[in-house]
Amino acid sequence: MIAIHKSNKGFSPRWIDFCKKNNIPYKEVSCYDSDIIEQLADCKALMWHHQQTDIKDVLTAKRILFALEHAGIQVFPDFRTSWHFDDKVAQKYLLEALNIPYVKSYIFYDKQKAIDFIKSTELPKVFKLKGGAGSVNVQLIRTRQKGVRLVKKMFGKGVSNVDVWSMVYDRWRLFRLRKSKAALRYLLIAVYRLFIKSGYQKFAGREGNYFYLQDFIPNNKFDIRIIIVNNKAIGIKRNVRPNDFRASGSGLVEPLDNDTIGTSINAVNVAFAAYRLLNNQSAAFDFVFNDEHEPLIVEISYGFLAEVYDGCMGYWTDDLTWHYDDNIAKLQDEMVKLVCESVNINIPAGLTNDKR
């Protein structure tokens, strides 16, 4: 039996739906319960789509998952897949150690060394906090004055993990772009958070005592995200915001296939090579391209916003062959298959009804 952490967001609803339709034995659990280990006594695996903006997930997920993995229980995501999740500094060390092509990054734990670097390096550079998604707290340093100010701030009072005003502005931009009920809902939530803090806002705190930068790779009007699960890859193109350099969180997304990916197919090849080296269950790679159009990884994640990929109509295998499949966007199904295979749970042929 597979245990699935119950949630109304993330991958959980799709995992549960797949188990129901394929008559896979599963049960829903709450990993926040103190007796969660006891609850899993009759289970061979636990699947939990933990997220970086849920304070309870941040506090508990890796501790529980890695403890279970030590005990020989299959988990998703496992240690190799998620130890570096939402930690750009950890990813810097990992990509360098494995010699995987990435955008060169710099980390300083000493204030004066960071200032000396800013005063001597070629600008612009991209400042980031080690965590965060959707381009939150990402800034382009064009002048040495701005760079020194950021250094002093990071080694002084620090920077808040949550920039609510930027979130409101971005949600307003997306609402004007889409005019949908979903976009309006997200905008209203952002405005609400100006006055009523979420649990994450209350307890995530501030970042400081380090200074992290990446090289700025110019002339990129979009980035490419390639997601690989169970040796199947799908992709999207994310256009940058108007008058900006950031693509993540822009909402300007186009699904990719073999006809539309063009020369960016090199990113799929690099993604598969990195996937093999990392030995991940699931990996989402964000790519930009240098002047020679060589793909460079910006960052990695094991998770993603599922709905964004529902327009994908096929996948690549590691030989770069394209396979049409109008259901492949649900790579969450592949995650369940992967876990089932690892614990010898058979997936019956064909679909069943939704009864357990």
pLDDT computed for residue 290 by the predictor: 95
On whether residue 348 sits in a domain, the answer given is: no
**pTM for this predicted structure:** 0.88
Stretch 343-354: mean pLDDT: 64
Q: Are residues 165 and 231 in the same domain?
A: no
Q: Are 83 and 90 in contact (CB under 8 A)?
A: yes
Distance separating alpha carbons of residues 137 and 206, to the nearest angstrom: 12
Q: What is each CA distance from 180 to 10, 172, 174, 185, 237, in whole angstroms?
A: 20, 12, 9, 9, 21
Beta 2-5 vs 26-29: how paired, if at all?
A: parallel
**Lowest-pLDDT range of 86-90, 200-204, 215-219, 346-350:** 346-350
The enclosing domain of 185 has a CATH number of 3.30.1490.20
Can you give 181-223 as a three-state secondary structure string? HHHHHHHHHHHHHHHCCCHHHHHCCEECCCEEEEECCCCCCEE
Q: Are residues 112 and 211 in the same domain?
A: yes
What rounded mean pLDDT belongs to the chain? 89
Residue 135 — pLDDT band, cuts 50, 70, 90? low
Longest dimension (CA), the chain: 65
Q: Are residues 106 and 211 in the same domain?
A: yes
| Final residue before a domain boundary, out of 149, 184, 215 | 215
On whether residue 349 sits in a domain, the answer given is: no
The enclosing domain of 290 has a CATH number of 3.30.470.20
Distance separating alpha carbons of residues 227 and 283, to the nearest angstrom: 6
Task: Calculate ∠ Cα 218-220-225, nearest 5°.
Answer: 130
On whether residue 342 sits in a domain, the answer given is: no
Residues 6+ away with beta carbon under 8 Å from 157: 206, 208
- Domains contained in the chain, number: 3
Q: Are residues 71 and 157 in the same domain?
A: no
Tens of pLDDT along 10-30? 999 999 999 999 999 999 999
Asked whether the predicted pLDDT for residue 356 surpasses 60, the reply is no
Stretch 105-124: mean pLDDT: 98
Q: Are residues 190 and 265 in the same domain?
A: no
Residue 136 — pLDDT band, cuts 50, 70, 90? low
On whether residue 93 sits in a domain, the answer given is: no
| Final residue before a domain boundary, out of 215, 236, 253 | 215
pLDDT computed for residue 250 by the predictor: 56
The enclosing domain of 62 has a CATH number of 3.40.50
% of the chain beyond a pLDDT of 90: 69
On whether residue 182 sits in a domain, the answer given is: yes
Q: Are residues 210 and 230 in the same domain?
A: no
Q: Are residues 227 and 321 in the same domain?
A: yes
% of the chain beyond a pLDDT of 70: 91
Q: Are residues 175 and 271 in the same domain?
A: no
Q: Which of 185-189, 209-213, 238-242 has the highest mean pLDDT?
A: 209-213
Stretch 178-196: mean pLDDT: 78
Q: Are residues 57 and 21 in the same domain?
A: yes
Choose between 333 and 167: higher pLDDT: 333
CA atoms within 13 A on the CB side of 303: 23
Residue 200 — pLDDT band, cuts 50, 70, 90? confident
On whether residue 231 sits in a domain, the answer given is: yes
Q: Are 81 and 281 in contact (CB under 8 A)?
A: yes
Task: Calculate ∠ Cα 214-242-119, nearest 5°.
Answer: 30
pLDDT computed for residue 346 by the predictor: 86
Query: Per-residue DSSP letters for 266-312?
Result: HHHHHHHHHHHHHT-SEEEEEEEE-TT--EEEEEEES---GGGGTT-
Residue 12 DSSP SS3: helix
pLDDT computed for residue 232 by the predictor: 95
| Final residue before a domain boundary, out of 153, 187, 215 | 215
Tens of pLDDT along 118-133? 999 999 999 999 987 6
Q: Which residue intervals of the chain are DSSP H helices?
A: 12-21, 36-39, 55-70, 79-82, 88-97, 111-120, 144-154, 164-178, 181-195, 199-203, 265-278, 331-342
On whether residue 201 sits in a domain, the answer given is: yes
Q: Are residues 186 and 256 in the same domain?
A: no
Tokens of 272: 């598969």
Residue 352 — pLDDT band, cuts 50, 70, 90? very low
On whether residue 40 sits in a domain, the answer given is: yes
Residue located via tokens 């939530």:
189
CA atoms within 13 A on the CB side of 96: 11
Q: Which domain holds residue 20?
A: 2-76
Q: Are residues 57 and 121 in the same domain?
A: no
Tens of pLDDT along 242-288? 667 666 665 678 899 999 999 899 999 999 999 999 999 999 999 99
Tokens of 117: 């670097």
Asked whether the predicted pLDDT for residue 294 surpasses 90, the reply is yes
Q: Are residues 144 and 180 in the same domain?
A: yes
